[in-house]
Amino acid sequence: NAGVMQNPRHLVRRRGQEARLRCSPMKGHSHVYWYRQLPEEGLKFMVYLQKENIIDESGMPKERFSAEFPKEGPSILRIQQVVRGDSAAYFCASSAQADYGYTFGSGTRLTVV
């Protein structure tokens, strides 16, 4: 069991470019969550998805950010027109049931230059 796989581990983007972060949940897990950790801050919830559905996106910035979890393939967190303030570690978690037993990936560290 490979656990929650995130790639890339590190991503550097210039201001104005797009960033795509991928997350493959643990085998058998159909619930995916994205969190953001700004430097020297705690983890903040962004979005909760199940296959083909966004369940809760209350933590997502209103503009430039989107997430999907298609029927086939990994979950994608997409940030358009990145700005320096988007530099952070982005973590994905998955669970077999809602509200129970989250497993986290190693994160993607995004640096915007």
Partner 1 sequence: KQEVTQIPAALSVPEGENLVLNCSFTDSAIYNLQWFRQDPGKGLTSLLLIQSSQREQTSGRLNASLDKSSGRSTLYIAASQPGDSATYLCAVVNTDKLIFGTGTRLQVFP
Binding site for partner 1 (CB under 8 A): 33, 35, 42-45, 48, 55-56, 59, 91, 93, 98-107, 109
**Toward partner 1, which CB reaches closer, 66 or 106?**
106
CB of residue 84 to partner 1, shortest distance in Å: 20
**Toward partner 1, which CB reaches closer, 42 or 85?**
42
CB of residue 100 to partner 1, shortest distance in Å: 6
Within 10 A of 49 (CB to CB), how many other CB atoms are there? 25
**Toward partner 1, which CB reaches closer, 72 or 97?**
97
**Toward partner 1, which CB reaches closer, 42 or 72?**
42
Q: Please, are residues 48 and 55 in contact by the beta-carbon 8 Å criterion?
A: yes
CB of residue 72 to partner 1, shortest distance in Å: 24
CB of residue 39 to partner 1, shortest distance in Å: 11
